[in-house]
Amino acid sequence: MMNIVVLDGHAANPGDLSWEPLKAFGALKVYERTAPDQVIVRAKDADIVLMNKIDMTDEVIRQLPKLKYIGILATGYNNIDTESAHRHGVIVCNIPSYSTESVVQATFAHILNITNQVAHYADQNRAADKEGEGLRWSRNPDFCYWDTPLPELSGKTLGIVGLGHIGQRVAQVALAFGMRVFAYTSKDQSQLPEGVYKATLDGLLHSSDIVSLHCPLTKDNFHFINADSISKMRQGTILINTARGALVDEQAIADALAGGQLGGYGADVMAEEPPRPDNPLFRQPHAYITPHVAWATLEARRRLMDICMANIKAFLQGEPINKV
């Protein structure tokens, strides 16, 4: 009988899905949240640990001698010391592609919110202004008004950094909008979808009206979007980040927004989650931050649970899938 422990189950399943199918594989214990100093105590008898954002460091892994399998309830696994896991004979599996459609949808929600200033106009027409004179549209002499640029996506250039499943779907949607699409990717041009053109990173930054990040976080690309790389962008470039917060230097983003080098920053991720209230991005009116929800549609989380089950079944049959 396998002992299965879910360390931070609330994010993937706040109550609208069921953990019951996992009981077919062994004894199940589900914790909604686990603090760092609780991980070893809670997982000490586990053969299988399932988790999302828990840090599984070498210090943790080597104190779990019964551990055989770590199942990440996510695609990204930068919070797992995979080298330590491999040294200790622990299989690590992630859940690829479950949230592709959801993240693509959120990416364009951010893009369209910035280009069409949805939040800006909604805010103006939700409450009275400082003088208490009522809703702005109600006081307008014309049938409409606008006080920001309203660019069309058609004809604009989107630069995509990272052309995996999500990046490729973002490219497809961008092409449907009539955009030009460049990609910074390790793939050859012959491997790119029709209408997508390979670019160097500097070339992409220099040429794009909108830059969207869709790459994993590694030790080599930490803060690769920084003051220097931002200076290579066109003035007013829109930056979108639905990948990982630490890909960008958040202070540099805030400075670029304040100075007008960036026209907007739409992000679903931050370097520290939950973020500190004094994060400089929260003081920038052209930074639009959502709380890491791009992946979390009900449909995506159902797929996540299904793939989690398939991963465990394959592992128990001695033929693990989605290994990292």
Question: Which residues are catalytically annotated?
Answer: 244, 273, 292
Asked if 300 contacts 99 with a C-beta cutoff of 8 angstroms, the reply is: yes
pLDDT tens sequence across 281-306: 999 999 999 999 999 999 999 999 99
Confidence (pLDDT) at 133: 56
Confidence (pLDDT) at 10: 97
When pLDDT is averaged across residues 220-243 and rounded to a whole number, the result is: 99
Give the separation between CA 220 and CA 249, rounded to whole angstroms.
14
Confidence (pLDDT) at 135: 85
pLDDT tens sequence across 77-128: 999 999 999 999 999 999 999 999 999 999 999 999 999 999 999 988 886 6
Domain 99-289 in CATH: superfamily?
A: NAD(P)-binding Rossmann-like Domain (3.40.50.720)
Confidence (pLDDT) at 132: 59
Asked if 253 contacts 262 with a C-beta cutoff of 8 angstroms, the reply is: yes
Among 248, 249, 252, 256, which Cα is nearest to 286's?
Answer: 256
pTM beyond 0.85: the answer is yes
Q: How confident is the model at residue 61 (pLDDT cuts 50, 70, 90)?
A: very high
Intrachain domains 2-98+298-317 and 99-289 with the same fold:
yes
Q: Return all residues near 250 (Cβ < 8 A) that are at least 6 apart.
A: 270, 271, 279, 280, 281
Question: Any idea which fold 2-98+298-317 has?
Answer: Rossmann fold (3.40.50)
Angle at 276 between CA 271 and CA 280, to 5 degrees: 75
Confidence (pLDDT) at 170: 99
Q: How many residues make up the chain in this entry?
A: 324
When pLDDT is averaged across residues 11-30 and rounded to a whole number, the result is: 97
Confidence (pLDDT) at 1: 85
**In the predicted structure, residue 131 carries a pLDDT above the cut 70:** no
Domain locations along the chain: 2-98+298-317, 99-289
CB atoms within 10 A of CB 156: 18
